[in-house]
Amino acid sequence: MGESTIAGLGVSTHEEGFSGTLAMHLADQLKQPVKWQVLARSGYTAADVRKHLVPKLPSDAPDLIVIGLGGNNAFGLYPPWLWRRHIRQLIRDLRKRYADTPIVFTDMPPVRSFPAFTPLMQFLIGNLVEMLGRTLAKEVARHPGVYYYDHVITFEDWSKRLGVSGQAADFFSDGVHPSRLTYQVWARDIAGFLTDRVPL
């Protein structure tokens, strides 16, 4: 569930994006088929997810919920206290529907590296998204069975691991949204976190 990155903006199919790639890696690691569903829309904030996507969740409890949010809240200049309130409400809404399903929040978007942003925007919104990430970590810690992958994405690290040039074009489809390469590396990292830290 979540915003544009979960919706796969920047690639042609979900199989090339984050969600499909995550499911593939989990199936490989768990040695069993993984049935997955995407509920996401470009431009959505945490409040939008609560209002529009939570009601669309299936009645049967899933084994896992993965949530990717934060970019649009940062672009909208949400203060940390309001972001925290919306995250708390989202978790409570999900817990009312599914008492025991693990909930995992992905890491925050690497706004400081967005090539479409000016250096000033990278600095200002980058600082805010990092503040929202710290706020998210504090809120998640209050809820059993809720997790936050707080890894800070650095494309220098990914470049070394992948043996690519590390230029912006390698990692972004449009200067803001991930490329196919980025989605696949990101999904692999999250899959590793899930199998190491989350009871599945």
What confidence category does residue 93 fall into, taking pLDDT thresholds of 50, 70 and 90? very high
To the nearest whole percent, how much of the chain has pLDDT over 70?
96
What are the C-alpha distances in Å from 13 to residues 19, 31, 183?
10, 24, 12
Average pLDDT for 144-166: 80
pLDDT per position as a tens digit, 28-72: 999 999 999 999 999 999 999 999 999 999 999 999 999 999 999
How many whole angstroms separate alpha carbon 112 and alpha carbon 50?
Answer: 27
In the chain, the DSSP E strands lie at: 65-67, 103-105, 146-148
How many whole angstroms separate alpha carbon 151 and alpha carbon 177?
Answer: 18
Tell me, what's the pLDDT at 114?
86
Tell me, what's the pLDDT at 157?
75
Contact yes or no for 26/92 (Cβ under 8 A): no
| Domain spans of the chain, in order of start | 4-52+62-197
DSSP 3: S
Tell me, what's the pLDDT at 141?
97
pTM metric for this prediction: 0.93
How many whole angstroms separate alpha carbon 126 and alpha carbon 163?
Answer: 26
Starting at the earlier edge strand, list the strands of the sheet with 103-105: 65-67, 103-105, 146-148
The CATH code for residues 4-52+62-197 is: 3.40.50.1110
pLDDT per position as a tens digit, 117-153: 999 999 999 999 999 999 999 999 999 999 999 987 7
Average pLDDT, the chain: 92
